[in-house]
């Protein structure tokens, strides 16, 4: 009971008082890849993330050694690290996250296990043009949140004291990673409901390189938003599927018709492959 009370107090403080929380390194057995280190954020509002060998096997269905992959909305890197283990030392994975608090943990996870992967942490949001945004959260510890052009946002009332940068992804890649861009095979997007807008902003990349795309379906989202997410992907020449989570044997089902997506009432992941 005493431990429960202490934990409850810590969560209340994290919701109301802005402070930085450190990371804790854990060791994870990744099967044939051996033991890796992983940094978890010691924020009372965040459950520990545990990447697994099963997650690596899931991503291996779409990514091979030497590929170029992108994780947009990477958070602390719990999907970026398994993706990077697939692209390996000869490939490259970029993890983008504009949240200044989680980015420090993502950066740590990009700097360890360098004998196994090439992972770069990038502290930017993805937008149509290069511009600046407010980063806003419903919690003082910024365990969640999103970008906004104004301080008036449905993300919450806690506003980070500095603006964060948004970039046009195509321009950024052509300028900074010209030797990798033609190896682009996979893009994962998880941006608190902003996924379809990002897909619109990178349609030129999608059309040119035809990467596999993974995005999030919010079960409680409006039918209109779900349909728009389906449409902005399908019109680029993709078949669309959905699944629950990133595990080797996860059940994958095809969305045959546009009406199928509005039947999904729980959060799920969408993935799309070129026709």
Per-residue pLDDT reduced to its tens digit, 35-61: 999 999 999 999 999 999 999 999 999
Residue 2 pLDDT greater than 70, yes or no: no
**Which residue, 124, 132, 127, is CA-closest to 106?**
124
> What is the per-residue pLDDT for 192?
76
Average pLDDT value for residue range 54-81: 97
Tell me what pLDDT residue 193 has: 76
Q: Quote the pTM value.
A: 0.95
- Please tell me the distance from the alpha carbon of residue 251 to that of residue 234, in angstroms, as a whole number: 21
Average pLDDT (219-225) is: 85
% of the chain at pLDDT higher than 90: 78
Q: What is the 3-state secondary structure (H, E, C) of 223-266?
A: HHHHHHHHHHHHCCCEEEEEECCCCCCCCCEECCCHHHHHHCCC
124 pLDDT above the threshold of 90: yes
Directed axis angle between helix 100-111 and helix 80-87, to 10°?
Answer: 30
* CA quadruple 199, 172, 126, 80: dihedral sign: positive
Q: How far apart are CA 182 and CA 201, in angstroms?
A: 18
Q: Spell out where the chain has E strands.
A: 23-29, 35-41, 68-72, 92-96, 119-122, 125-126, 131-137, 146-148, 158-159, 164-167, 184-189, 212-217, 238-243, 253-254, 268-274
Q: Which domains does the chain have, with CATH numbers?
A: 26-127+168-274 (3.40.50.150)
Angstrom distance (rounded) from CA 3 to CA 10: 11
Average pLDDT, the chain: 93
């Amino acid at each position: 009971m005493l431990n429960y009370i202490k934990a409850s107090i810590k969560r209340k403080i994290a919701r109301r008082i802005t402070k930085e929380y450190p990371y804790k390194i854990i060791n994870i057995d990744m099967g044939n890849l051996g033991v890796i280190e992983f940094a978890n954020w010691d924020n009372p509002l965040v459950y520990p993330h545990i990447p697994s060998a099963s997650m690596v096997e899931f991503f291996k269905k779409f990514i091979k050694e030497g590929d170029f992959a992108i994780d947009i909305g990477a958070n602390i890197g719990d999907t970026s690290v398994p993706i990077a283990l697939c692209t390996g030392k000869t490939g490259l994975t970029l993890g983008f996250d504009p949240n200044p608090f989680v980015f420090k943990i993502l950066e740590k996870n990009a700097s360890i296990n360098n004998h196994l992967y090439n992972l770069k942490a990038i502290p930017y949001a993805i937008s149509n043009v290069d511009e600046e945004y407010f980063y806003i959260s419903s919690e003082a510890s910024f365990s969640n949140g999103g970008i906004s052009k104004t301080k008036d946002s449905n993300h919450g009332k806690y506003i980070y004291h500095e603006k964060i940068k948004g970039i046009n992804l195509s321009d950024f890649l052509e300028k900074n990673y010209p030797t990798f861009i033609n190896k682009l095979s996979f893009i994962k997007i998880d941006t608190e409901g902003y996924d379809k807008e990002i897909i619109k902003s990178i349609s030129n990349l999608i059309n040119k390189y035809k990467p596999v795309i993974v995005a999030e379906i919010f079960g409680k989202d409006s039918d209109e938003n779900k349909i728009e997410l389906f449409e902005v992907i399908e019109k680029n020449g993709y078949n669309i599927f959905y699944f629950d989570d990133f595990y080797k044997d996860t059940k994958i089902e095809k969305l045959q018709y546009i009406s199928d997506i509005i039947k999904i009432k729980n959060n799920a992941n969408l993935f799309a492959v070129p026709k």
